[in-house]
Every structure is written in C-alpha cells, then in structure tokens.
Structure 1
C-alpha cells in the first residue's frame, strides 16, 4: 500500500504525472513518456503496474467526455498486434533487467522518429498500424510506454482523430496488459493502490490542458508528436546506459 512507500516521492511523481496528463490531453499521448523515466529513477518497483493503472483514467475520460473520432480500421490492426505481442512484454518484466527493457524501447522509439523524418513519410496503413501495435505490445506492457509508435503512424490525421484513436488504444491495451501481468504474477497490490492514488493528479493535469488544446494547430500537433517520441527514446536510452 502507499504506507509502504515514502509519501514525498509518491507526491513528486504525482505532480510529474499531472504534467504528463496535460501533455497527453493536448497531443494525444505523453503521460507515460513524461512520467516513466522519472519513475525509474525514483520508484522503479512501481513499474509497470502503477503506471498502467494510472494511464487508464485519462483515455477513459477522453472517450466519455470528448468527441469519439476513432479510426476503427487502423485501430483494429493496432490492437491486434498489441494483444498478440503482450505476452512477450510480460516475459520481459519477469526475466529481463530494467536497463535492457529501457534500451530496447528507446532504440525502437528513435527508429520510428527517424523513419518519419528521413525515410518514407509515414501514413496510416494496416501494416503500419499492425507493426505499431506489435511493438507497443512489448513496450507498453514492459515499460508502460505505448503512445509514440501508433502516434507516429497517425501523425498526419486530424487532432481529434489522433486523440480518440489513441485513447481507445490505450484503454483496451492497458487493460489487456494489466490482465497479462496479473496472470503472469507480475502485478502487485501496492502498484494498484499507488496507481489509483495518482488518478486525481491526472484529472488536474487534464483540466489545465483545456485552454491549450483549443489553441494548438494541427501542424504543431505533428511536431509535438515527433518531439515527444524523440525525447522519450533519448531519455530511456541514457537511463539504460547510466544504470
């Protein structure tokens, strides 16, 4: 339970999560990208379960309260890939070191950004969505980072479609990952309790994002997606090297 952890780090991480929720409310993803590197440094024992529990709140609220502009065709391909590779993520949590997981995820994220900037311009395709979902099945389960890959595939879509499709992807994907971790014996009770305790911070960050969302043009949306993905990749690689 929370009593088993120092309250100060939990609150500090809660404030970081609030900022991540603000970013995700504007861009469509970013909660885990912002928070996970700090969690690894401050409370690595809470990963990935606590972050997955927390990350369910914001996309669920997005789907309930906002426009549901989901790209179902590519969503089905993406979620199929995520569910298929989710057991690999569970295996990594049980057997691989956190440094190895961080390195794998960071390299994949930076490769996706490089492909978007310098190779063929990424557009939504069933194959791209399936590949993004498959990578996320590993990274989202093992490291709680699941937004950059499908976000890159959808980067040219309108802002409402990116947010809605990613929200549906996060809800189903995170719930599936939590189920897989629970079945594999890798989800602890204290992770669930702390994850639920962070939900009010998510609500606060989302509320602060409302005025920003109305002013952000779609060109800025794409740049934000690429910058966030690149930042996530760089941070986790540095973390893996340092540790």
Structure 2
C-alpha cells in the first residue's frame, strides 16, 4: 500500500476513534468508505480488528454504566446470527447487501422519529443482536441497530453497552471469518501502524465524551444511523 494511502487511512482512523470514543458510534461509518476506496481488499477484516482495542478502551472507561442484561441478550443473538453473516459474505453480492441493509436502517430511523420514547426489552435486544451479527460480519458496519435500541438511554450507558456488544461480536466474527477462510492474516498487517492512530483518537475523546447530554446523543444516534444507512444504499 502506498505511503500516502497509509497516511490518509491513519488520519481517518484517528478521526473515527475520536468520534466513537465521544459518542459510542461512528468508527465504521467514517473509516469504511475510505478503506473501501483505497484498500477494499482489507474489508471487513481491518474494520473488525481495528475496533477491538477501541471498544475495549471505551468499555473500560464507561464500565460503571454497562447494561449487563442488554449486553447478554444482544451478544447471545449476535453469536447465533454471526454464521449468517459469513454465509451472506460468501453468497450475496456486496452491492445488493448494501442496498438491503441501508434501506432497513433508514426505515428504522423513520420509525424512531415517529414513535414515542421507549425502554428496550428482550425482543428489541434479540433483534438488534441478530441484525448486527449478520451486517457487521458481512460489511464491517453494524452500529445502527444497537444505536436505535439505545437511543433513549443515558449516553454513558449507550457507549458502554454498545462497546461491550461490539467487542464480543468482533472477536466472534473474526474467528469465524478466519475459520472459514473468508479472511487472511495479510489483511491484519496494515492494522499495526494504525494502532497509534486509534490510541490518539480515543485519548482525545476523553475531553469531549462527557459533554454530550441525552438529547444531543439521540440526535447523534439518529443522524449516524440515517447517514450510514444512506451510505450503504449508495454503495459507499
């Protein structure tokens, strides 16, 4: 990979880590289009691996606010659904998958805007975990379902719980991708020079993560889901 591409990806990774460290969301949305343009062969393995240290840090920082029950249900559903993501990656054209997932995400945002405030239950957790297990394993982008489930919860709870769900799911997804030979070790090598960029973005987020109140967080969540869904629909 040319040095210029490495620098661009590193700056993008630092930005994505800062945004996700602040809001709990956004790394894949920011990084996936750039990596897809400069080094498409790295997806989704690079994204999944890069988010592991980031989500581990966010989970540790926000551990006091973790929703253990929600994390358990979401993770269980995600583990069950992850093989579906591997199958989708092998069988479904990426362009069609993007349109399908993007349309579903945009529809969920519209429904959220029209629906009253709610407290998520087991059904919502299971649905979000299953959808995330498929979409993140196949594309590297899995945040919208979790974001929508936790949009009315306190910001710290959203950050901690989403980080915990991502962390466990990313490890499972990578394990299955490597186990089924859909991933290769050379896709992980570019991650090594990116780790300082992840650390920089995460460190800077310490300054801003407490400044988001619940109302602003919900706006961030809905905008994130809408933009990510639209990006997937148009094939970014």
| TM-score bin (small chain) | over 0.9
For residues 19-168 of structure 1, the aligned pairs below 5 Å read 19-119=15-115, 121-168=117-164
**Does residue 1:170 correspond to 2:149, yes or no?**
no
Aligned to 2:208: 212
Report the CA distance shift for 1:184/1:63 in structure 2 as closer, same or farther (over 3 A): same
Conserved 8 A contact 2:117-2:152: no
Structure 2 distance, partners of 1:105, 1:193, is 29
**TM-score for the superposition, normalised by structure 1:** 0.91
Partner of 1:195: 191
Deviations 1:58-114 (A, max 9, x none): 111122344332111111111111111111111122232221222222122212211
* Deviation readout 1:38-58 (Å, 9 max, x if unpaired): 222222110010110001011
Q: 2:59–2:161: 8 Å Cα contact kept in structure 1?
A: no
Q: Is the 8 A contact 1:21 1:31 kept in 2?
A: yes
1:230 aligns with 2:190: no
Asked whether the 8 Å contact 2:62–2:157 carries over to 1, the reply is no
Q: How many Å separate the matches in 1 of 2:195 and 2:111?
A: 34
CA distance in 2, matches of 1:139, 1:120: 27
Contact 1:122/1:152 (8 A) holds in 2: no
RMSD over aligned Cα atoms: 1.6
Aligned pair count?
236
Question: Residue 211 of structure 1 aligns to a residue in which SS?
Answer: helix
- TM normalised by structure 2 equals 0.94
**Partner Cα separation in structure 1 for residue 170 and residue 210 of structure 2:** 27
Q: Secondary structure at the match of 2:63?
A: coil
Rounded to whole Å, the distance in 2 between the matches of 1:15 and 1:166 is 24
